[in-house]
Amino acid sequence: MPKIVYCSFCKRPIKPGEGVMYVRVDGTIERYCSSKCFKSAVKLHRNPRKTKWVVKST
């Protein structure tokens, strides 16, 4: 049974088979719900707290 994974950027739950899996050089596995989150985190190095469309988890 696949466990629920959450987007490393916007913290939204990702359905099995969806999203992007990214492995950093240091071995850290990160999951992103969409290419939008992937690009924001990996290519643009955005801070989720400073990104307007990210739902705040308070």
Element (H, E) at 37: helix 35-38
Rounded distance between C-alpha atoms, residue 9 and residue 14, angstroms: 11
Stretch in the footprint of Zn ion (CB under 5 A) among 2-10, 21-29, 38-46: 2-10
Q: How many residues bind Zn ion (CB under 5 A)?
A: 5
37 binds Zn ion (CB under 5 A): yes
Least distance (Å) between residue 25 CB and Zn ion: 21
Q: How far is CA 20 from CA 14, 26, 58, in A?
A: 10, 18, 25
Where on the chain is the footprint of Zn ion (CB under 5 A)? 7, 9-10, 33, 37
